Structure 1
């Protein structure tokens, strides 16, 4: 009777307000039946922004959060593994199974017996906030991408304080190890390098223009270019990647990437876009052709260095660009292909991002489907205006740590 009295004494306005939460909960349950993208679009702007913020900050991983389960469990694509499965696959993450170690975690070789599959398992360092953010980005982005030149994400695992990602195993490791590994290691022949160039270009074309959104990778470098059993290139590590709607233009964000591969203009303005990825691609193209890291030691002044772009551009200006080719090849390369890769590399690293090619223009030139550009004989000086300010950077280099960059002057390449 008391319950009846409570209802009768409630004003119509209060009754209306009490009914609203129930409608919201029912709406939420209906939402869970929709595909992930539709749920995100149907959510209120504030809810979606909060979900995005949690993914950015890695705060979904403070426990087995049902909301996070809702976003990551899709029923198709990458599967969720139990921690015990992956511990068995790696002999309890033994040092003998370790393939490498970076600033935010370690990678182990594993064998999934039930699937009869060899895999690479990334184990995020406990307590690494940046590692947690990258884990979220990997699962959220690369799990939805399908391309022959992208590393395939097979599955993932979280819970019990562990964050693990399972990838297809790349038997030939990274491009970095083949370009700069042991001095007595076999030299990558030019035909293999040429195919790597084309594969990498194809991957970035897919990310920038052929998928439903533009995917900004933001950390293209040789150590993130993996090689399968046939030495086909597969771009990996999407921990710093961001999604941008096509046609949106510049994307303001915290600086992220690896020094030597970061667009100088991005370091000044704090804005990244597709041209920033194109710049990084250009540096990698020059590395593949020249066999040199982004910073080149000047022979006559061992304490001095210049950026690889400047070094190659100097040879280009003298009309002797092939003199910049990797000496270890001993001249065994197709001159037309070598020149093409280096000129496109210079084009992609042009100091003025407005004069860089789109990824499609670069790929067309690399495939000899379009003429090479006519570049100035001397490397242009960057003309973009600096924006005075302080930007927080997320370094993706090994042992990467957050740092603060304060810039008040214009800068060129390097």
Structure 2
């Protein structure tokens, strides 16, 4: 993969990755995840989606790599509890608590990567924190201010806002409130309206095992995942 990994462009190199390339990468990653979750003969849970595992070809097309932690689950079956594996900053909170990877936990990781693409900052940036910083700007209707300053304003404002909102939606602390990756793709393609998210980042207060693998797509299930506003 001649262009290396996404993180090397976002965080390490002096040359700036253009917004056109970034949006293409986000959509390509979402398409790859859709294939893994819904289009193969089994559901593939990657469990370690992060910017350093997204490889770029000569045309900046995204390829999701490193399937060393991946798990196969038959469509319609519950995920099994496993030894916790993944990368700090990208792991969904319910996965940390239950040890059960799911489509929702992969979607959460995608959401974190989407926000990194927009902001040009690592998910565990000690100054800005994780998605909470972006969520605060969203609540103040200033989310566009979270855009990577290295872009110097050279981006499509509608796409930037769209990817940020989709990123927050996917990284929602309550797994039941996250979209399926198919819904995220529809949002990125402007084929469906974006959600109205809470003005402040919700705080998950209780987790039950995700049950969405019993359905073909979308956030679902009637158990667990209660939330309350953080302010």
Q: Deviations over 1:72-113 (max 9, x none)?
A: xxxxxxxxxxxxxxxxxxxxxxxxxxxxxxxxxxxxxxxxxx
Matching residue of 2:188? 366
Q: Deviations over 1:186-209 (max 9, x none)?
A: 100100001001100000000000
Question: How far is the alpha carbon of 1:386 from its aligned partner?
Answer: 7.9
Matching residue of 2:29? 200
Q: Does the Cα contact within 8 Å between 1:296 and 1:311 map onto a contact in 2?
A: no
Give the whole-Å Cα distance in 1 for the aligned partners of 2:145 and 2:78. 37
1:355 aligned residue (177, 191, 195): 177
2:198 aligned residue (376, 382, 388): 376
Matching residue of 2:11? 180
Matching residue of 2:60? 231
Correspondence 1:142-291 to 2 at 5 A = 170-182=1-13, 185-291=14-120
Q: Deviations over 1:237-260 (max 9, x none)?
A: 100001001121333211110010
User: Taking CA–CA contacts closer than 8 Å with sequence separation of 6 or more, which of the two structures ends up with the larger relative contact order?
Assistant: 2
Q: Does the Cα contact within 8 Å between 1:289 and 1:326 map onto a contact in 2?
A: yes
Q: Deviations over 1:340-385 (max 9, x none)?
A: 0000000001010011001111111111111101101011110324
Q: Deviations over 1:164-207 (max 9, x none)?
A: xxxxxx0110001001113xx21001000010011000000000
Secondary structure at the residue paired with 2:125? strand
TM-score (norm 1): 0.50
Matching residue of 1:344? 166
2:138 aligned residue (316, 327, 336): 316
TM-score (norm 2): 0.88
Q: Between Structure 1 and Structure 2, whose CA radius of gyration is higher?
A: 1
Question: How far is the alpha carbon of 1:264 from its aligned partner?
Answer: 1.1
Structure 1 unaligned residues grouped into runs of 5+: 1-169, 299-304, 388-409
Give the whole-Å Cα distance in 1 for the aligned partners of 2:35 and 2:175. 20
> Which has the larger share of strand?
1
Correspondence 1:22-37 to 2 at 5 A = none
Give the whole-Å Cα distance in 2 for the aligned partners of 1:199 and 1:373. 21
Q: Does the Cα contact within 8 Å between 1:262 and 1:279 map onto a contact in 2?
A: yes
Q: Deviations over 1:391-414 (max 9, x none)?
A: xxxxxxxxxxxxxxxxxxx9x9xx
Give the whole-Å Cα distance in 2 for the aligned partners of 1:189 and 1:224. 19
